[in-house]
Amino acid sequence: MSTIAVIASFGEEDQCAQAVHELRTAELGELQTFSPFPSHKIQHSFARPKSRARWATFTGGVTGVLTGLAITIGTSWEWNLNVGGKPVVSWPPFIVICFELMILLGGIFGLLGFFAFSGVPALEPAFGYSERFGSDLFGLVVRCDEPKASRIEAMLREAGAQEVSREIINQERVVADA
C-alpha cells in the first residue's frame, strides 16, 4: 500500500485549526501545518504534550546553581577567605553568583534544547511546502494510507480548504521527514 500526502491550503487560520482538530480527533493520519505567522490557535489544535526542551532548561538551571555553589564555596575554602570577620562560607553573597549562573546556564541549555528537539534549522523545505504558505495561505499536509485519502479530502473541503491536492510519496521519504 502506498502512502499518500494530501495537501490542503486554507485562507483562514480558524479553518486550518478546525481541520487539524477534526483530523486529529478522527485519527486519520500524520499532520503537519505551515503558517505564514506563528499561530497559537493551530498550535493549540494539535494539543501536543509540552516540549522536552523545558527539561533542558531545568537541567541547565540546576547545573548553574550547583556550579555557583561549587565555585563560591570551593574558592572560599581553598583560599580560606576571611572577609570582614564573617564566616568563611557565608551564603548571602553566594546567592547572587548562584542566581546568575542559574539564569546563564538555564538559558544556554534551553537554547540548545530548543535546537535539539525542534529540528531547527531545517535546511531543505519540508515536504508539501509551497511559497504561498509563507505569505498568505495556511498549509496542511496529511500523510495517510491510500484508502483513507478520499475521506480526508472530503473533510478538508468541508473545513473550508481552498485547494486540495494529492501526492504519492515513497516510504523512505516519510521516514526521513519524520
Partner 1 sequence: MSVEAKTAEARGRGVADIIYTPVAVVGVKTTVVGVILAVLGLIGFAAGLARGEALTVWGGYLVNLLFFLSVAQGAVMVSVSYYLAQGRWAGTTQFRLAEAYAPFLWVGLVLFFGLYFGRAVIFPWVLHPIAQKAAWLNTPFLFARDGVMLFIMALLSSIFVRLSRGEAARAWILSPNDIEFPPSPIRRITPVLGILYCFFYSFLAVDLVMSLAPLWRSTLFGWYFFAGAYWSGIVTMTFTAVILRSQLKAGNVFTRPKVFHDLGKYVFAFSIFWVYLLFAQYIVIWYGDIPVETFFLVQRVHHMPWSPLSIACAFLIFLIPFLVLMSVRTKEIPSILGLVSLLGIIGMWLERYVLVEPSLSLDAIPFGLTQLLITLGFLGAFILCSIPGLNRVATAATAGEPIGEDE
The verdict on 95 binding partner 1 (CB under 8 A) reads: yes
Q: How far apart are CA 138 and CA 24, in angstroms?
A: 17
Closest separation between CB of residue 34 and partner 1, Å? 21
Strand partners, 163: 9
The verdict on 52 binding partner 1 (CB under 8 A) reads: no
List all residues 6 or more positions away from 94 whose beta carbon is below 8 Å from its beta carbon: 68, 69, 72, 73
The verdict on 96 binding partner 1 (CB under 8 A) reads: yes
The verdict on 12 binding partner 1 (CB under 8 A) reads: no
Per CB under 8 A, which region of 67-75, 90-98, 125-133, 158-166 contacts partner 1?
Answer: 90-98
- Between 5 and 138, whose beta carbon lies closer to partner 1? 138
List all residues 6 or more positions away from 16 whose beta carbon is below 8 Å from its beta carbon: 10, 33, 35, 39, 42, 138, 140
Binding site for partner 1 (CB under 8 A): 40, 84, 86, 92-93, 95-96
